[in-house]
Amino acid sequence: MSQLFYIKASPRGEQSFSVSVADAFVAAYRRAHPRDDIRTVDLFQKDLPPFDGAALQAKYAILSGGRPTEAQRGAWRAVEDTIAEFKAADKYLFALPMWNFGIPYRLKHYIDIITQPGYTFSFSPDQGYQGLVTGKPAMVVYARGGAYPPGSAAESFDLQSRYLELWLGFIGMGQVRRLVIEPTLGQTDGGVALRSQAMAQAEAMAPGF
Ligand SMILES: Cc1cc2nc3c(=O)[nH]c(=O)nc-3n(C[C@H](O)[C@H](O)[C@H](O)COP(=O)(O)O)c2cc1C
Protein backbone atom coordinates (compact mmCIF):
# COMPACT_ATOMS: atom_id res chain seq x y z
CA MET A 1 0.00 0.00 0.00
CA SER A 2 1.30 3.45 -0.96
CA GLN A 3 0.42 6.89 0.26
CA LEU A 4 -0.40 9.57 -2.29
CA PHE A 5 0.06 13.09 -0.91
CA TYR A 6 -2.18 15.58 -2.70
CA ILE A 7 -1.16 19.22 -2.29
CA LYS A 8 -3.68 21.85 -3.36
CA ALA A 9 -2.17 25.26 -3.99
CA SER A 10 -5.25 27.07 -5.35
CA PRO A 11 -7.85 28.67 -3.04
CA ARG A 12 -10.51 28.70 -5.78
CA GLY A 13 -12.27 25.45 -4.84
CA GLU A 14 -14.42 24.00 -7.61
CA GLN A 15 -13.71 26.98 -9.86
CA SER A 16 -10.03 26.06 -9.91
CA PHE A 17 -8.81 24.36 -13.06
CA SER A 18 -5.81 22.77 -11.37
CA VAL A 19 -7.86 21.46 -8.42
CA SER A 20 -10.78 20.11 -10.49
CA VAL A 21 -8.37 18.33 -12.84
CA ALA A 22 -6.24 17.00 -9.96
CA ASP A 23 -9.47 15.86 -8.24
CA ALA A 24 -10.32 13.88 -11.41
CA PHE A 25 -6.83 12.38 -11.26
CA VAL A 26 -7.41 11.38 -7.60
CA ALA A 27 -10.79 9.79 -8.37
CA ALA A 28 -9.25 7.72 -11.18
CA TYR A 29 -6.23 6.91 -9.01
CA ARG A 30 -8.54 5.65 -6.24
CA ARG A 31 -10.36 3.37 -8.69
CA ALA A 32 -7.04 1.97 -9.95
CA HIS A 33 -5.38 1.71 -6.50
CA PRO A 34 -8.25 1.11 -4.05
CA ARG A 35 -5.95 0.04 -1.20
CA ASP A 36 -3.75 3.15 -1.33
CA ASP A 37 -4.03 5.92 1.23
CA ILE A 38 -4.68 9.41 -0.17
CA ARG A 39 -3.83 12.35 2.05
CA THR A 40 -4.95 15.81 0.96
CA VAL A 41 -3.45 19.09 2.12
CA ASP A 42 -5.12 22.35 1.13
CA LEU A 43 -2.37 24.94 1.59
CA PHE A 44 -4.88 27.81 1.90
CA GLN A 45 -6.61 25.97 4.80
CA LYS A 46 -3.65 24.34 6.48
CA ASP A 47 -2.26 25.95 9.60
CA LEU A 48 1.32 26.37 8.38
CA PRO A 49 3.78 27.19 11.18
CA PRO A 50 5.33 30.63 10.76
CA PHE A 51 8.80 30.49 9.32
CA ASP A 52 10.14 33.60 10.97
CA GLY A 53 12.46 34.67 13.80
CA ALA A 54 12.39 31.67 16.16
CA ALA A 55 12.38 29.00 13.41
CA LEU A 56 15.12 30.81 11.50
CA GLN A 57 17.26 31.24 14.59
CA ALA A 58 16.81 27.52 15.33
CA LYS A 59 17.81 26.70 11.77
CA TYR A 60 20.98 28.81 11.96
CA ALA A 61 21.80 27.46 15.44
CA ILE A 62 21.53 23.89 14.10
CA LEU A 63 23.51 24.75 10.94
CA SER A 64 26.36 26.19 13.01
CA GLY A 65 26.34 23.31 15.51
CA GLY A 66 24.94 25.52 18.29
CA ARG A 67 22.14 24.84 20.80
CA PRO A 68 18.75 26.37 20.07
CA THR A 69 16.81 27.88 23.00
CA GLU A 70 13.59 26.28 24.27
CA ALA A 71 11.42 28.73 22.24
CA GLN A 72 13.51 28.06 19.13
CA ARG A 73 13.23 24.30 19.71
CA GLY A 74 9.41 24.63 19.90
CA ALA A 75 9.36 26.49 16.59
CA TRP A 76 11.68 23.87 15.09
CA ARG A 77 9.44 21.00 16.24
CA ALA A 78 6.58 22.48 14.20
CA VAL A 79 8.92 22.57 11.18
CA GLU A 80 9.94 18.95 11.80
CA ASP A 81 6.30 17.82 12.07
CA THR A 82 5.48 19.46 8.73
CA ILE A 83 8.50 17.81 7.10
CA ALA A 84 7.61 14.40 8.60
CA GLU A 85 4.09 14.61 7.21
CA PHE A 86 5.49 15.46 3.76
CA LYS A 87 8.17 12.77 3.77
CA ALA A 88 5.78 10.03 4.92
CA ALA A 89 4.26 9.89 1.44
CA ASP A 90 5.34 7.67 -1.44
CA LYS A 91 3.96 9.77 -4.30
CA TYR A 92 3.07 13.44 -4.69
CA LEU A 93 0.37 15.26 -6.62
CA PHE A 94 0.30 19.07 -6.91
CA ALA A 95 -2.60 21.24 -8.10
CA LEU A 96 -0.72 24.39 -9.01
CA PRO A 97 -1.93 27.74 -10.40
CA MET A 98 0.44 30.26 -11.95
CA TRP A 99 0.49 33.48 -9.94
CA ASN A 100 2.60 36.33 -11.26
CA PHE A 101 4.55 33.90 -13.43
CA GLY A 102 5.49 31.85 -10.38
CA ILE A 103 3.73 29.92 -7.63
CA PRO A 104 1.18 31.07 -5.00
CA TYR A 105 2.73 32.38 -1.79
CA ARG A 106 1.25 29.62 0.37
CA LEU A 107 3.19 26.99 -1.57
CA LYS A 108 6.35 29.10 -1.29
CA HIS A 109 5.78 29.28 2.49
CA TYR A 110 5.35 25.48 2.58
CA ILE A 111 8.54 24.98 0.53
CA ASP A 112 10.44 27.32 2.88
CA ILE A 113 9.34 25.18 5.84
CA ILE A 114 10.13 21.76 4.41
CA THR A 115 13.36 22.48 2.53
CA GLN A 116 15.85 21.89 5.32
CA PRO A 117 19.38 20.47 5.38
CA GLY A 118 19.53 17.02 6.90
CA TYR A 119 15.81 16.48 6.27
CA THR A 120 15.02 16.98 2.58
CA PHE A 121 18.52 17.66 1.24
CA SER A 122 22.11 17.33 2.38
CA PHE A 123 25.32 19.17 1.64
CA SER A 124 28.91 18.03 1.92
CA PRO A 125 32.03 19.57 0.36
CA ASP A 126 32.78 16.26 -1.38
CA GLN A 127 29.37 15.49 -2.76
CA GLY A 128 27.75 18.92 -2.92
CA TYR A 129 23.96 19.07 -2.60
CA GLN A 130 21.99 15.84 -2.58
CA GLY A 131 18.24 15.38 -2.39
CA LEU A 132 16.94 13.17 0.41
CA VAL A 133 13.41 12.61 -0.92
CA THR A 134 14.41 10.04 -3.50
CA GLY A 135 12.66 7.31 -5.44
CA LYS A 136 9.30 9.05 -5.22
CA PRO A 137 7.38 10.19 -8.28
CA ALA A 138 5.56 13.52 -8.55
CA MET A 139 2.69 14.58 -10.75
CA VAL A 140 1.96 18.27 -11.26
CA VAL A 141 -1.22 19.78 -12.70
CA TYR A 142 -0.33 23.30 -13.82
CA ALA A 143 -3.00 25.93 -14.62
CA ARG A 144 -2.15 29.25 -16.27
CA GLY A 145 -4.31 32.12 -17.43
CA GLY A 146 -2.04 32.63 -20.46
CA ALA A 147 -0.09 30.19 -22.60
CA TYR A 148 3.63 29.52 -22.29
CA PRO A 149 4.37 26.78 -24.83
CA PRO A 150 7.91 25.43 -25.18
CA GLY A 151 9.85 27.28 -27.86
CA SER A 152 7.57 30.36 -27.73
CA ALA A 153 8.62 33.88 -26.72
CA ALA A 154 6.39 33.49 -23.62
CA GLU A 155 8.20 30.37 -22.40
CA SER A 156 10.78 32.35 -20.41
CA PHE A 157 7.95 33.85 -18.31
CA ASP A 158 7.05 30.39 -17.02
CA LEU A 159 8.77 30.46 -13.66
CA GLN A 160 5.97 28.29 -12.28
CA SER A 161 7.00 24.93 -13.75
CA ARG A 162 10.67 25.89 -13.88
CA TYR A 163 10.81 26.75 -10.17
CA LEU A 164 8.68 23.83 -8.98
CA GLU A 165 10.58 21.23 -11.00
CA LEU A 166 13.95 22.72 -10.04
CA TRP A 167 12.93 22.47 -6.38
CA LEU A 168 11.54 18.94 -6.77
CA GLY A 169 14.82 17.88 -8.41
CA PHE A 170 16.80 19.61 -5.65
CA ILE A 171 15.10 17.55 -2.92
CA GLY A 172 15.56 14.36 -4.92
CA MET A 173 12.44 13.95 -7.01
CA GLY A 174 13.67 13.58 -10.55
CA GLN A 175 10.64 11.81 -11.95
CA VAL A 176 8.02 14.47 -12.64
CA ARG A 177 4.91 13.96 -14.76
CA ARG A 178 3.13 17.07 -15.88
CA LEU A 179 -0.25 18.11 -17.16
CA VAL A 180 -0.54 21.71 -18.35
CA ILE A 181 -3.88 23.52 -18.62
CA GLU A 182 -3.55 26.76 -20.59
CA PRO A 183 -4.77 29.34 -21.40
CA THR A 184 -7.53 29.17 -18.78
CA LEU A 185 -8.50 32.84 -19.31
CA GLY A 186 -10.29 34.20 -22.38
CA GLN A 187 -11.91 30.92 -23.43
CA THR A 188 -15.21 31.62 -25.22
CA ASP A 189 -16.99 28.78 -23.37
CA GLY A 190 -15.51 29.78 -20.00
CA GLY A 191 -13.03 26.95 -20.21
CA VAL A 192 -15.57 24.11 -20.18
CA ALA A 193 -13.96 22.23 -23.08
CA LEU A 194 -10.42 22.87 -21.84
CA ARG A 195 -11.32 21.62 -18.36
CA SER A 196 -13.04 18.45 -19.54
CA GLN A 197 -10.22 17.67 -21.98
CA ALA A 198 -7.67 18.04 -19.16
CA MET A 199 -9.81 15.92 -16.81
CA ALA A 200 -9.88 13.11 -19.38
CA GLN A 201 -6.10 13.39 -19.77
CA ALA A 202 -5.67 13.24 -15.96
CA GLU A 203 -7.92 10.19 -15.71
CA ALA A 204 -5.82 8.44 -18.35
CA MET A 205 -2.57 9.25 -16.51
CA ALA A 206 -3.72 8.17 -13.02
CA PRO A 207 -3.74 4.35 -13.24
CA GLY A 208 -0.07 4.18 -14.27
CA PHE A 209 1.08 6.54 -11.52
C1 LIG B 1 -2.93 36.43 -8.03
C2 LIG B 1 -3.00 35.89 -9.43
C3 LIG B 1 -1.92 36.07 -10.28
C4 LIG B 1 -1.96 35.54 -11.57
N5 LIG B 1 -0.87 35.69 -12.37
C6 LIG B 1 -0.86 35.11 -13.60
C7 LIG B 1 0.30 35.19 -14.43
O8 LIG B 1 1.33 35.74 -14.07
N9 LIG B 1 0.24 34.60 -15.65
C10 LIG B 1 -0.87 33.96 -16.10
O11 LIG B 1 -0.84 33.43 -17.22
N12 LIG B 1 -1.98 33.87 -15.34
C13 LIG B 1 -2.00 34.43 -14.10
N14 LIG B 1 -3.12 34.34 -13.31
C15 LIG B 1 -4.27 33.56 -13.81
C16 LIG B 1 -4.24 32.14 -13.29
O17 LIG B 1 -3.02 31.49 -13.57
C18 LIG B 1 -5.39 31.34 -13.86
O19 LIG B 1 -6.62 31.93 -13.46
C20 LIG B 1 -5.34 29.88 -13.46
O21 LIG B 1 -6.46 29.22 -14.01
C22 LIG B 1 -5.33 29.74 -11.94
O23 LIG B 1 -5.32 28.38 -11.55
P24 LIG B 1 -6.62 27.75 -10.85
O25 LIG B 1 -7.74 27.88 -11.87
O26 LIG B 1 -6.24 26.35 -10.57
O27 LIG B 1 -6.88 28.54 -9.60
C28 LIG B 1 -3.11 34.86 -12.02
C29 LIG B 1 -4.19 34.70 -11.15
C30 LIG B 1 -4.15 35.21 -9.87
C31 LIG B 1 -5.32 35.01 -8.96
Q: What is the pLDDT of residues 153-162, one digit of tens each?
A: 999 999 999 9
Cα(11) to ligand 1 centroid in Å equals 11
pLDDT > 90? residue 209: yes
pLDDT > 90? residue 191: yes
- Pocket residue to mutate for ligand 1, from 98, 156, 158, 164, most atoms within 8 A of Cβ: 98
The percent of residues in the chain predicted with pLDDT above 70, rounded, is: 100
Q: What is the pLDDT of residues 81-112, one digit of tens each?
A: 999 999 999 999 999 999 999 999 999 999 99
Q: Give the binding-site residues of ligand 1, using a 6 Å CB cut-off.
A: 10, 12, 16-19, 97-101, 143-146, 184-185
Closest CA to 139 of 183, 107, 95, 98: 95
Cα(73) to ligand 1 centroid in Å equals 37
pLDDT > 90? residue 65: no
- Give the Cα separation of 201 and 4 in Å (integer): 19
pLDDT of amino acid 117: 92
pLDDT > 90? residue 67: no
Closest CA to 91 of 140, 46, 163, 56: 140
Mean pLDDT over the full length of the chain: 96
Atom of ligand 1 nearest to the CA of 182: 21
Atom of ligand 1 nearest to the CA of 20: 26
Q: Are 7 and 94 in contact (CB under 8 A)?
A: yes
pLDDT of amino acid 148: 98
Cα(161) to ligand 1 centroid in Å equals 13
Strand partners, 121: 117, 131
* pTM greater than the 0.95 cutoff: yes
pLDDT > 90? residue 139: yes
Cα(78) to ligand 1 centroid in Å equals 30
| Average pLDDT estimate for 27-46 | 98
